């Protein structure tokens, strides 16, 4: 049973967890706040890991912020279990700590590729420890294979080219991200990588991995063999929800209302581990983006203190590749039409996604003002859509 001084426990020292702790103090909460971190580092930012292959953590707050704000950091002690009936979380080392209110903010972990498990040079990229392991291998001329051309895979390919590595992307789809962003955008991204010297193999099925402790060659269904000194596996992430077994919470994304409340009293969830109800789409949606994790952590703090969070803006993210900034806003997955503006041969374009003629999403390369206009357009259904050329979805 919780005691009055158990206060608020935040499990997961990432962006969502930190934002919750910050918002609790900003709102004047003066009870105990504990931030339980599975990693040995205080909360840090993940985007620099793939954009800069950064080996030192980009801390979200300097060390003094935690004592100054009376936030207790518990490092390197992952939560092992949640017992809602006793209001306790058990940490590694079997210590059980009580809570009055709890935030689940354990993020997500990289999905493994069974064919590559056990090889020392086949790495995920989710943590600073992963970035250090990759950085120790990468050097000019090193052959890096990136499996999966999602945003993180594409960013790693771009950053590895900058250090002079010889990079191959192996992607199972005909075009990367085409299901979400459309074939035209997928083609432009592939062209950009190829122009930068990245070999891109599409519609590729990996059938075998050869090597002893280190993978040396990937074999594809076509019989092609791709030699490698290192492999980055970027085939998506799964919620870090294993420690919630037995609670009834959904391991494929903890369901919450728009404020982050779960079905368990006084238990909230935010960030990549959560699947909040999205009022625009009328369903629970898991978002693996920085802006959403930040906003959801703040919203959960408001809900814990009895306030209603503001209506969320449309989801958005950015990605940096080969010196260009790609920005996205909205819900392209519900679009039935894409309009592209910009020369297909130039790295300067925007895409407007419409549903029944109304803008629902936008994407732009190096056009921040256009993204801002599209964002306003999505929010204001009476505003005319920016003028763009129609293209296939
Ligand atoms: C390499 C990379 C690049 C990215 N780039 C972009 C980008 O350009 N734009 C964008 O919008 N988004 C980007 N993202 C996504 C964005 O960083 C995430 O959406 C965001 O970090 C999610 O925050 P979170 O707090 O939910 O989870 P996380 O940041 O994953 O934090 C969760 C924390 O909980 C810890 N944890 C896990 N299990 C336990 C446990 N049992 N007990 C205690 N602690 C635990 C984890 O170790 C981690 O420290 C990127 C992500 C990565 C990995």
Which among 15, 127, 234 is the best mutation to test ligand 1's pocket, defined by most ligand atoms within 8 Å of the CB? 15
For residue 201 the two structure tokens come to: 């193999």
The DSSP code for 188 is H
CA–CA dist 230, 135 (Å, integer): 11
Q: Report pLDDT for 382.
A: 53
Which residue in the block uniquely carries the two structure tokens 């039935």? 336
Q: Report pLDDT for 120.
A: 95
Please determine whether the domains at 8-109+237-304 and 323-391 fall in the same fold group of CATH.
no
What is the CATH number assigned to the segment(s) 112-233?
3.50.50.60
CA–CA dist 34, 36 (Å, integer): 6
Q: Which atom of ligand 1 is nearest to the CA of 36?
A: 43
Q: Which atom of ligand 1 is nearest to the CA of 287?
A: 19
- Topology (CATH level 3) of domain 323-391: Enolase-like; domain 1 (3.30.390)
Q: Report pLDDT for 87.
A: 97
Residues with CB under 6 A from ligand 1: 11-17, 36-39, 46-47, 49-50, 78-79, 105-108, 125-126, 152, 240, 243, 271-272, 288-291, 293, 317-319
Burial class (CB in 10 A: 0-12, 13-18, 19+), 100: middle
pTM listed for this prediction = 0.94
CA of 392 to the centre of ligand 1 (A): 34
- Topology (CATH level 3) of domain 8-109+237-304: FAD/NAD(P)-binding domain (3.50.50)
- Chain segment 229-246, per-residue pLDDT in tens: 999 999 999 999 999 999
Does residue 177 contact residue 185 with C-beta atoms inside 8 Å? yes
The DSSP code for 60 is S
CA of 47 to the centre of ligand 1 (A): 9
CA–CA dist 170, 226 (Å, integer): 9
DSSP string, 66-107: HHHTTEEEE-S--EEEEETTTTEEEETTS-EEE-SEEEE---
CA–CA dist 328, 336 (Å, integer): 17
Q: Which atom of ligand 1 is nearest to the CA of 242?
A: 41
Taking CA atoms only, the protein residue closest to ligand 1 atom 37 is: 106
Does residue 374 contact residue 359 with C-beta atoms inside 8 Å? yes
CA–CA dist 56, 86 (Å, integer): 39
Does residue 278 contact residue 112 with C-beta atoms inside 8 Å? no
Q: Report pLDDT for 310.
A: 80
CA–CA dist 61, 261 (Å, integer): 26
The tens place of each residue's pLDDT in the chain, 393 residues long, gives: 556 689 999 999 999 999 999 999 999 999 999 999 999 999 999 999 999 998 999 999 999 999 999 999 999 999 999 999 999 999 999 899 999 999 999 999 999 999 999 999 999 999 999 999 999 999 999 999 999 999 999 999 999 999 999 999 999 999 998 888 888 889 999 999 999 999 999 999 999 999 999 999 999 999 999 999 999 999 999 999 999 999 999 999 999 999 999 999 999 999 999 999 988 888 999 999 999 999 999 999 999 999 987 888 888 999 999 999 999 999 898 899 999 998 867 888 899 999 999 999 999 999 999 999 999 888 776 555 565 554 544
Q: Report pLDDT for 392.
A: 47
Domain residue limits, the chain:
8-109+237-304, 112-233, 323-391
For residue 64 the two structure tokens come to: 């003094």
**What residues form DSSP beta bridges with 270?**
none
CA of 288 to the centre of ligand 1 (A): 8
CA of 225 to the centre of ligand 1 (A): 33
CA of 242 to the centre of ligand 1 (A): 16
Q: Report pLDDT for 354.
A: 93
CA–CA dist 20, 102 (Å, integer): 11
Which among 45, 55, 77, 106 is the best mutation to test ligand 1's pocket, defined by most ligand atoms within 8 Å of the CB? 106
Which among 103, 293, 314, 324 is the best mutation to test ligand 1's pocket, defined by most ligand atoms within 8 Å of the CB? 293
């Amino acid at each position: 049973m919780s005691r009055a001084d158990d206060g608020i426990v935040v499990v997961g020292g990432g962006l969502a967890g930190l934002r919750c702790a910050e918002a609790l103090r900003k709102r004047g909460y003066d009870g105990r706040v504990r931030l339980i971190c599975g990693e040995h580092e205080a909360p840090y930012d993940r985007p620099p890991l793939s954009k800069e292959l950064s080996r030192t953590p980009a801390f979200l707050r300097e060390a003094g912020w935690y004592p100054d704000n009376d936030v207790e950091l518990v490092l390197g002690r992952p939560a092992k279990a949640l017992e809602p009936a006793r209001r306790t979380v058990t940490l590694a080392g079997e210590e059980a700590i009580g809570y009055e209110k709890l935030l689940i903010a354990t993020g997500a972990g990289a999905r493994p590729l069974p064919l590559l498990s056990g090889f020392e040079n086949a790495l995920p990229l989710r943590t600073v420890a992963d970035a250090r392991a990759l950085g120790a291998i990468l050097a000019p001329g090193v052959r890096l294979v990136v499996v999966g051309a999602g945003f993180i895979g594409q960013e790693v390919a771009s950053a590895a080219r900058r250090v002079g590595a010889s990079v191959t992307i192996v992607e199972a789809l005909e075009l990367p991200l085409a299901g979400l962003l459309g074939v035209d955008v997928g083609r432009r991204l592939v062209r950009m990588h190829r122009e930068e010297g990245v070999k891109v193999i599409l519609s590729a099925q990996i059938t075998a991995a050869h090597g002893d402790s280190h993978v040396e060659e990937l074999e594809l269904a076509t019989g092609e063999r791709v030699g490698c000194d290192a492999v980055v596996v970027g085939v998506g992430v799964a919620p870090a929800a294993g420690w919630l077994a037995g609670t009834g919470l959904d391991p494929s994304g903890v369901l919450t209302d728009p404020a982050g409340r779960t079905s368990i009293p006084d238990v909230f969830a935010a960030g990549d581990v959560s699947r909040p109800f999205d009022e625009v789409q009328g369903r629970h949606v898991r978002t693996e983006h920085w802006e959403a994790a930040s906003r959801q952590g703040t919203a959960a703090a408001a809900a814990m203190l009895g306030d209603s969070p503001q209506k969320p803006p449309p989801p958005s993210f950015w990605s940096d590749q080969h010196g260009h900034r790609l920005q996205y806003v909205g819900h392209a997955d519900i679009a039935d039409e894409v309009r592209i503006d910009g020369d297909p041969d130039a790295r300067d374009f925007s895409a407007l996604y419409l549903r029944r003629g109304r803008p629902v999403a936008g994407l732009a390369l190096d056009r921040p003002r256009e993204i801002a206009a599209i964002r306003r357009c999505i929010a204001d259904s009476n505003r005319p859509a920016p003028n763009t050329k129609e293209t296939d979805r």
